[in-house]
Amino acid sequence: MSTPPSAAGTAARPGTPHGPDAAKVRAAIRGGTLAYFVDQFDIYLPIVVLAPAAAYFQAANLSASTTALLASLVFASTLIGRPLGAIVFGHFADTVGRKRTTLVAVGGFGLITLLTACLPGHETIGMWSVGILIALRFVDGIFLGGEYTTAVPLAMEWSPKHKRGLYASIITSTSPAAYAVIAAITLLMLQLLPSAGLHSAYVQWGWRIPFFVGAALAAVLFRYYRKQVHEPPARLTGEKHKLPFLRLLKKYPRALGQVFVLMTGTWLATNMEAAVTPAQLKAHLDLSSKEVTATMLVINAAAALSYPVFGVLSQRIGRRRFYIGYGLSMVVLGAGSYTLLMASNGGFGAALGFGVLIGVFTVGTFGPIAAYLTERFPASIRSTGYGVGYSLALIAPAFYQFYLQRFDGIMPAHLAPGVLIVLAGLLISLGGFLGPETKDVDMSDDSTIPALS
């Protein structure tokens, strides 16, 4: 029997959803996009929002190096918690279900963010204040690690093959977009509220507002997943194994090791862009808090706009070729633009100009990363493989402050991050080179996943 004309268009693209599944695809992509935005909003809160309010949590007589170390620990504690969350929640996502596990993770980090907004300061409880902040961020990291470990594979499993690069980039573009939104909120608050001195309005209570916003976003995300998002069909999530993490380590160490190299470079570059650049803009270029915030807004807005371009590019030329090329671009353009900015001693205008290049060529690895990592692992351990591969490499780059201190006496502090960006780019290229091409992987057929052992 011949194919009816009305079905010909559908048959031409076998991976294209239609009918009821089309609505489920849209809901999953929207859910993954919102989940990633809320996740990244929460991650970057302490970097942007707490920077002008550091005096609230710390003693006034601390040295500059101790203050910087404590600030880095607030950020690093969240990153360190994420691999643990990936292991725990990845297990339940692969054995119980993606949707239910996502709901638990979202509820957890929403509550922790709310508690953080209510913290007393150093004047009230002394050093316990920063200690509790670091502890809460660690627990927050566990839940956040669980959230993207479940929500992103769910979205990618619903996505048609020929659009995975685009959908992945839409989801991950919310990371720099979230940073830009936080920067915009903080910039507005710094305009409206006094921020000079321990007892200023911003330092005492203004910083809490973005954390309350983060908790509210988590509540919205929880409701959306509960009402709108569906569990992927069993053929996409594979057979269940009792211990998916042990299965990952035992049967797929090569895939995990290759992803670890790629993601180590990715996170090292991210920390240089997100955590170190703001400090250097203020310390070396003498930009005001408002100018630093505006510069970081531009950097991350440029990155967000580049992600869909990189996602579509990876769909055309292949993920492997994209990562090899992007890593080399980071070495030349990412590290080069950062170094030129710092060496030029330029002002606010120079920071905005170079900031566009820094944004595009330091964190663009994330463009197709959601597609690549989910394509890299078989269905039965996909959440665990994605989550652990994505977050295990967070740990070493999280201690970036210690690595930067090793350059003391060798080169100026404002140039050392450029060296680490070069290293990050080389690791990304190496990780891409060591891995196979994955863009044609069929999520429901593990035999299409190359070089797993």
DSSP labels, 39-99: HHHHHHHHHHTSGGGHHHHS-TT--HHHHHHHHHHHHHHHHHHHHHHHHHHHHHHHHT-HH
Question: How does pLDDT run across 391-450, given as a tens digit for each residue?
Answer: 889 888 988 888 998 888 899 888 999 999 999 999 999 999 999 999 999 888 777 887
According to the per-residue pLDDT averaged within each range, which of 18-22, 291-295, 354-358, 389-393 is highest? 354-358
pLDDT at 75: 78
Question: Residue 236 pLDDT more than 70?
Answer: no
Return all residues near 212 (Cβ < 8 A) that are at least 6 apart. Answer: 114, 117
Place of tokens 């929500």: 151
Any idea which residue has 């690690």 for tokens?
Answer: 145
Sign of torsion over alpha carbons 104, 105, 109, 110: negative
At a CB cut-off of 8 Å and minimum separation 6, what does 403 contact? 420
Asked whether residue 34 carries a pLDDT value surpassing 60, the answer given is yes
Of the CATH numbers 3.30.300.130, 3.30.590.10, 1.20.1250.20, 3.40.1120.10, which one belongs to the domain with range 24-230+241-448? 1.20.1250.20
151 closest CA partner among 221, 211, 87, 83: 221
Looking from the CA of 120 toward its CB, the CA atoms found within 13 Å total 7
CA separation, residue 23 to residues 31, 33, 407, 449 (Å): 12, 15, 53, 27
Burial class of residue 412 in the structure, from the number of CB atoms within 10 Å of its CB (0-12 exposed, 13-18 middle, 19+ buried): exposed
Q: pLDDT-derived band of residue 122, with 50, 70 and 90 as boundaries? A: confident
Neighbours of 124 (CB within 10 A): 10
Q: Where are the domains of the chain?
A: 24-230+241-448
pLDDT tens digit sequence for 251-270? 999 999 999 999 999 999 99
Q: Look at the chain and count its residues.
A: 453
Angle between helices 244-251 and 253-271 (to 10 degrees): 100
Handedness of CA 303, 309, 313, 319 (dihedral sign): positive
pLDDT higher than 80, residue 62: no
Rounded to whole angstroms, the Cα distance separating 131 from 114 reads 17
Tokens (6 digits) for 150: 């479940």
pLDDT in tens, 133-172: 999 999 999 999 888 888 888 899 889 999 999 999 999 9
Please report the pLDDT score of residue 14 as a whole number: 39
| Spatial distance between the Cα atoms of 164 and 158, rounded to a whole number of angstroms | 9
Residues 53 and 116: beta-carbon distance below 8 Å: no
Per-residue b/e over 267-295, b at no fewer than 16 CB within 10 Å? bbbbbbbbbbbbbbbbebbebebebbbbb
**Is the sign of the CA dihedral 153, 158, 163, 167 positive or negative?**
negative
DSSP 331: I
